[in-house]
Chain A
């Protein structure tokens, strides 16, 4: 029943790409946060969340993503997203998340912008 979230990371200091695969619910959001805070501790100041492998999220998971955005703002860092489904992107716009975290069509475009 449960679609467990898998999280992997590609470190490219000071940037890191976090890849997710599965459902971002409360446990999934907490796993992303755990990985993100480890990266922040390791002086990664720009995080790109590539959600290509995630087709569904819920608001509890997104609220944990908001915590990560808050943390990134505190350290003058950046959190960005790429490869969102149209519905997840629409949801982020409904919530206003797009004002505080950039959304890119894909990883190539994102890295081009974030590494300038």
Chain B
């Protein structure tokens, strides 16, 4: 079981504007580098953060057009896990009803999008999604 002591914490509030996901990915990269994650794992975290932000920007319909992101390095003597929480105050959705996209269907479909959650789940070690009428919170983590 990984110790849950908070070793380092950063919070960001980003406006939902084009390419602001890059700002979030840079913060994730800085913390993952502090943890001495491998470059491949850092890239995976970076991409997952980009996807989570884009999902929020594109689908949340949040009136405040903002997303809050909390990055936490967890561990004891050494950092063990990077936990990233992405929260919006949008309309929410039912995660259980989101079907995993299939490439053979997307190739012939007019809408080829809808890959964000699949990518996030494929790149991170743990992903939890809490969503309701007051918004959506995605909690995802990566072990060092």
Cβ-closest chain A residue relative to B108: A70
B-contact bits for A51-72, CB 8 A (1 contact / 0 none) = 0000111111011101101100
Chain B residue nearest to A96 in the complex (CB) = B103
Min CB–CB distance B60 → chain A (angstroms): 16
Q: Which of A7-15, A38-46, A85-93 is the contact stretch?
A: A85-93
Q: Number of B residues whose C-beta is below 8 Å from A?
A: 30
User: Given the complex, which residues of B lie within 8 Å of A66, measured CB to CB?
Assistant: 103, 106-107, 112
Complexed CA–CA distance, A55 and B39 (Å): 11
Beta-carbon nearest neighbor of B38 in chain A: A86
Bound CA span A90–B43, Å:
11
Closest to A58 in B: B50
Between A59, A87, A94, the greatest number of chain B beta carbons within 10 A of the residue's beta carbon is seen for A59
Chain A CB count within 10 A is highest, among B25, B103, B108, for: B103
Q: Please report B residues at the A interface, Cβ cutoff 8 Å.
A: 18-23, 25, 40, 43-44, 46-47, 50-51, 54, 101-104, 106-108, 112-113, 115-116, 118-119, 122-123
Contact A69-B43, Cβ < 8 Å, known A60-B54, A91-B119, A94-B118 = no
Please give me the residue from chain B that is nearest to A65 by CB atom: B112
Collect the chain B residues with CB atoms within 8 Å of residue A116's CB: none
